[in-house]
């Protein structure tokens, strides 16, 4: 083709090409606010020339493709940083809640209530027989116990809420991976001919959302489909197939991956990014640590107070005809008691005092030093009760019998006999829960011993070596008050999902340990906030780079629109000129 026919053909290709340019520009403008949309550009190429009269003449233009303007490296970096940002944001939010729970400025904080607890023991030391002081201590002991209970319950609720969030996240992850697998099918079908730009943008958006939940890596296959893997190399999407995550494990709170077979892989400890990474780190590392530390503090506090309380006596002995039952139980051996590891099996374990009141006007106080050296951690409560009874008999005493009821040791006094305790060097009484102030073994179970419903049994005094004791004696009250300043070994935990939880020990006071906990929470919170700030800066910078490459600029599109419009007008003018030339040719005679 040559001459006017060639001009018309070139004009036609020009019209089509410029119209394609306008179409692509319009598509860009329409999607200026569409998330994950990448700016598209038409690719125009000159058509191959033809030889005419020894001259190569061009045949116009073709639109050979429409391409997305993207930089995959930038997209991948942005996706990874967003994943880190969402993880740190979730952790930051929960850290603020945690800081609120351990707020030391509150009147009901553990710190404030511990200080008041020690003060009330000082009050009793000043007025050992005072009913008001005893009632105040008893009631505050209940309030302090409840505060420990509530704080532990709040931490447990946070764990539950985080598990629920993980469960919802897993469901959304499965929805996303199924959508991506469906889009893979469409892309493979479309790209047999041309690149599926809009489908790729949609898939990129879904991958970005997926990375907001979980660690992912992507690999594009030669046919255009995307393979997505997560922690431990587990495949989430491969071609047209997607593989679900599930909540499983013994407690149902573990994130597991199931392949096409029956095997399940536990991914929980290896998910470090995205919302799930943040939630799991908070639940299994941060909250787990402070919950363990809180319970370690409560356990040591209970043990210390109880051990000293067992050395003392209230305003009077335990009354005749009563049964004093331990608050700690075991159906097996002594080692199985909650505080069984603290028992020392020594010769002079503790003194059991028996006051014979058969002659009310002339009561007689006797004691037996209970030898525990014949027992060990494998001994049972029955073995212990038998050993105590044998030694009571050997001392020529009667009126008190040790026994076992409901997996707890008991001391039962006859109708004319009262009983008391002193000089427990073995910790056996505290381990049994006999003559103690608190019961329970941690923050969640801590409460005041129900025996102290009768406040007279608050042990402010001690029985002297000769068996005497006085309601005005404050020896034991002072000893308990001094525990405020006594350093003791308290467990401190390090929680790591990969390496497991590690128990260490610090030697410090009860209050200093709690203050250190609060300080540690503040430091952890600040560190997470700084991480979030860094990730935010990186996301913003990478977002700017991504936008400079892929985002739609209305100014640029308007320029392109005018450019293509002018070119279209010029192409139309070619047709008009060709028509005039044809008329001139036809008018020639």
Note the helical H segments in 502-553: 510-550
Query: What's the average model confidence in pLDDT over 292-303?
Result: 98
pLDDT digits (tens, 9 = 90+) for 74-85: 999 999 999 999
- Per-residue pLDDT for 589 more than 70? no
Cα 545 from Cα 75, distance rounded (Å): 10
Per residue in 518-564, pLDDT (tens digit) is 999 999 999 999 999 999 999 999 999 999 998 898 999 899 999 99
Q: Indicate if the pLDDT at residue 340 is higher than 60.
A: yes
Could you give the CA distance from residue 225 to residue 180 in angstroms, rounded to a whole number? 9
Residue 375 is predicted with a pLDDT of: 95
Question: What's the sign of the alpha-carbon dihedral 97, 98, 101, 104?
Answer: negative
Q: Please, what is the average pLDDT of the chain? A: 93
pLDDT, one tens digit per residue, over 252-277 is: 999 999 876 777 899 999 999 999 99
pLDDT at 104: 84
145 pLDDT higher than 90:
yes
pLDDT > 90? residue 320: yes
CA–CA separation, 409 and 411 (whole Å):
7
490: closest CA among 298, 217, 275, 256? Answer: 298
pLDDT of residue 170: 97
Is residue 4 pLDDT above 90, yes or no? Answer: no
Is residue 583 over pLDDT 80? no
pLDDT digits (tens, 9 = 90+) for 378-392: 999 999 999 999 999
The candidate with the shortest Cα–Cα distance to 369, out of 391, 385, 393, 398, is 391
Query: Sign (positive/negative) of CA torsion 339, 345, 347, 353?
Result: positive
Instruction: Give tens-digit pLDDT for 473-507.
Output: 999 999 999 999 999 999 999 999 989 999 999 99
Interval 352-404: pLDDT, tens = 999 999 998 899 999 999 999 999 999 999 999 999 999 999 999 999 999 99
Nearest-10 crossing angle of helices 110-126, 510-550: 170
pTM of the complete model? 0.90
What is the C-alpha separation between 366 and 192, in angstroms, rounded?
101
Is residue 155 scored above 60 in pLDDT?
yes
pLDDT value at residue 5: 74
- 307, 354, 317, 334: which is closest to 404 by C-alpha? 334
Q: Is 23 exposed, middle or buried (0-12, 13-18, 19+ CB in 10 A)?
A: middle
pLDDT classification of 192: cutoffs 50, 70, 90: confident
Collapsed DSSP state (helix, strand, coil) of residue 460: coil
Q: How far is CA 329 from the centre of its chain?
A: 32
Sign of CA dihedral 529, 534, 537, 543: negative
CB 223 within 8 A of CB 240: no
Residue spans of beta strands (DSSP E) within 58-167: 61-68
pLDDT tens digits, one per residue of 426-455: 999 999 999 999 999 999 999 999 999 999
Least confident of 115-129, 172-186, 205-219, 247-261: 247-261
Position 407 scores a pLDDT of: 94
């Amino acid at each position: 083709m040559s001459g006017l026919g060639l001009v018309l053909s070139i004009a036609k290709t020009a019209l089509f090409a410029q119209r394609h340019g306008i179409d692509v520009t319009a598509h860009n403008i329409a999607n200026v606010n569409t998330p994950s949309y990448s700016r598209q550009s038409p690719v125009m190429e000159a058509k191959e020339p033809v030889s005419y009269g020894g001259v190569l003449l061009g045949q116009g233009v073709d639109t050979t493709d429409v391409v997305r303007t993207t930089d995959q490296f930038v997209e991948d970096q942005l996706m990874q940083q967003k994943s880190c940002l969402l993880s740190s944001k979730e952790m930051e939010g929960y850290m603020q809640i945690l800081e609120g729970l351990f707020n030391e400025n509150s009147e009901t904080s553990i710190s404030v209530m511990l200080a008041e607890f020690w003060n009330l023991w000082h009050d009793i030391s000043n007025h050992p027989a005072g009913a008001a002081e005893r009632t105040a201590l008893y009631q505050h002991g209940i309030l302090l116990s409840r505060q420990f209970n509530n704080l532990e319950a709040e931490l447990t609720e946070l764990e539950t809420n985080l598990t629920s969030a993980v469960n919802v996240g897993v469901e959304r992850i499965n929805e996303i991976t199924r959508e991506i697998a469906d889009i893979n099918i469409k892309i493979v079908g479309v790209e047999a001919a041309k690149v599926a730009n809009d489908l790729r943008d949609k898939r990129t958006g879904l991958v970005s959302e997926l990375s907001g939940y979980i660690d992912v890596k992507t690999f594009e296959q030669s046919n255009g489909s995307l393979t997505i893997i997560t922690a431990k190399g587990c495949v989430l999407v491969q071609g047209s197939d997607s593989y679900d995550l599930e909540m499983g494990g013994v407690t149902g709170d573990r994130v597991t991956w199931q392949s096409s077979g029956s095997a399940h892989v536990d991914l929980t400890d290896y998910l470090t990014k995205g919302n799930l990474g943040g939630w799991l780190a908070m639940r299994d590392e941060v909250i787990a640590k402070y919950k363990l530390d809180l319970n370690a503090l409560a356990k040591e506090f209970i043990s210390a107070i109880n051990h000293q309380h067992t050395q003392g006596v209230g305003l009077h002995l335990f009354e005749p005809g009563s049964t004093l039952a331990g608050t700690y139980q075991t159906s097996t051996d002594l080692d199985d008691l909650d505080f069984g590891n603290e028992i020392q099996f020594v010769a002079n374990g503790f003194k059991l005092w028996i006051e014979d009141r058969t002659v009310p006007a002339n009561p007689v106080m006797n004691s037996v030093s209970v030898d525990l050296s014949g027992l060990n951690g494998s001994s049972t409560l029955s073995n212990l009760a038998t050993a105590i009874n044998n030694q009571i008999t050997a001392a020529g005493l009667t009126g008190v019998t040790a026994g076992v009821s409901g997996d707890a040791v008991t001391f039962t006094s006859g109708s004319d006999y009262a009983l008391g305790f002193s000089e427990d060097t073995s910790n056996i009484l505290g381990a049994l829960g006999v003559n103690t102030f608190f019961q329970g073994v941690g923050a969640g179970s801590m409460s005041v011993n129900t025996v102290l419903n009768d406040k007279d049994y608050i042990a402010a005094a001690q029985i002297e070596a000769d068996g005497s004791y006085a309601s005005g004696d404050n020896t034991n009250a002072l000893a308990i008050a001094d525990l405020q300043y006594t350093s003791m070994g308290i467990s401190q935990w390090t929680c790591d999902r990969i390496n497991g939880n590690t128990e260490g020990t610090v030697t410090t006071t009860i209050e200093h340990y709690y203050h250190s906990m609060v300080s540690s929470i503040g430091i952890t919170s600040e560190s997470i906030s700084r991480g979030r700030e860094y990730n935010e800066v990186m996301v913003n910078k990478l977002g700017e780079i991504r936008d400079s490459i892929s985002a739609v600029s209305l100014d640029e599109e308007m320029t392109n629109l005018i450019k293509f419009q002018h070119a279209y007008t010029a192409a139309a003018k070619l047709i008009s000129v060709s028509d005039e030339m044809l008329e001139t040719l036809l008018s020639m005679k």
